[in-house]
Amino acid sequence: MTPENLEPTTAGAPAADPTPHITVDGFEGRIPEIIDLDAPREGVPLVIDTLSGLERCAAAIAAGSGPAGVDAERASGFRYGQRAFLVQIRRDGAGTWLIDPEPFDDLKIVNEALRGVEWILHAATQDLPCLAELGMWPDKLFDTELAARLAGLPRVGLAAVIEQLLGFGLAKEHSAADWSTRPLPEPWLRYAALDVEVLAELREELIELLEADGKLDFAEQEFAGILGAGLPAPRVDPWRKTSGLHQIRDRRQLAAVRELWYERDQLARKRDVAPSRLIPDSALVAAAKAMPQPFRSSWPPKVSTDGRHSAKHHAGCAALPARGPPTTFRRSIFQPTLPRRLVSGQTAIPKPRPGSGLPGPGYKRPRIGSSFPWKTCSPRIT
């Protein structure tokens, strides 16, 4: 199989096909260098959505040979969470199977059929969590995306890797579709079946590249590390991933975003819809920024002329409840030790002599009063 260079055409002659071609020994004519992979070799399989069909699927997969190509389709951006709405499995001797997991509590029967079998996935860390929700977890893994990275390929998307190593063009126009749609359209099913059609062949090509570079052992260790790490821990403070949160610096506004985020998440879970489709992040941020602002006095507070002060107001301003506003990434204005410092500062100042005409300790000229440590209280915040 050798590439064939096209000669430039003469004036008036039909334009030559600009698509790169190859010649194949024993085959008359020229064929494109990249062949579109537009249909599974056994045709588009039916979707398994009954218990009897699932049992047939498990029996066929168990009777197959070699590694199994596995993939899952989700409804990201349409449904709540990242659960799988279609599972694709292909194994030599068993063919391709498309399983609808929604009618079943789990797919443990399929997992048992794959016991001891190496799974081939592309970007395994994306699909393993949703497969684990169905009771599926591989005993051995080969991640084609990670292998492509280790092999040094310039592009590591599934379609790009298949094109570079196998010469097939794989369409990806339905990757962001709503896979919770029922019934699934036939073009979507064909696309899903093609995702696992050549994973076994792709694995063989990647193994050759890794062996040539002496990286196969490293790759196997990385695959085992993915399985050993298990599922990722739940994210701490997931509301902090709200888009546009960097626009907010006020702690009370941050608390508003936090409470709105959890309320939206609870409602989205109940309705089984993606939170961003229910209320976008920009609306949460806008609502928090538009909320009424509490009255804030200047600091240090102004001093009254009658000398009536109370350090407990400072303590009240400094103390925050356990479920109070979240902290920002700047220094807080609340200082718990301030009342004690004010008291010690006043005792160090000598009192004016009687009859001197000097004002009492509760008065100071406004220009320098803000820098003098009197035992004062801030105005009551409403």
pLDDT value for 176: 87
Side-chain-side CA neighbours of 256 within 13 Å: the count stands at 19
With tokens 């806008």, the residue in question is 286
- pLDDT value of position 67: 98
Strand partners, 47: 98
Confidence category of residue 283, pLDDT binned at 50, 70, 90: very high
pLDDT value for 238 = 95
Which residues, including other chains, have CB under 8 Å from residue 106's CB and lie 6 or more apart?
Answer: 134, 135
**More confident site: 138 or 232:** 138
User: 47-229, what's its fold?
Assistant: Nucleotidyltransferase; domain 5 (3.30.420)
* pLDDT tens column, 49-88: 999 999 999 999 999 999 999 999 999 999 999 999 999 9
Amino acid 24: pLDDT: 42
- Name which of 146-155, 218-227, 288-297 the model is least confident about: 288-297
3-state DSSP call for residue 69? strand
pLDDT the model gives residue 10? 47
- Annotate 304-359 with DSSP letters as a single string: PSS----THHHHHHH---TT-PPP-SS--S--TTHHHHHHHHHHTSPPPPTTS---
Greater model confidence, 81 or 349: 81
Q: What is the CATH number of domain 238-290?
A: 1.10.150.80
Tens of pLDDT, residues 91-148: 999 999 999 999 999 999 999 999 999 999 999 999 999 999 999 999 999 999 999 9
Query: What is the Cα–Cα distance from 193 to 210, expressed in whole angstroms?
Result: 27
Domains of the chain, residue spans: 47-229, 238-290, 298-348+363-377
pLDDT of residue 330 exceeding 80: no
DSSP per-residue codes, 248-274: ---HHHHHHHHHHHHHHHHHHHHHTS-
CA-atom Rg of the chain in angstroms: 34
Q: Residue 67 — φ and ψ, nearest 5°?
A: -70, 165
Q: Order the strands of the 140-143 sheet from edge to edge.
A: 47-48, 95-99, 84-92, 65-74, 118-121, 140-143
User: Which of residues 315 and 294 earns the better pLDDT score?
Assistant: 294
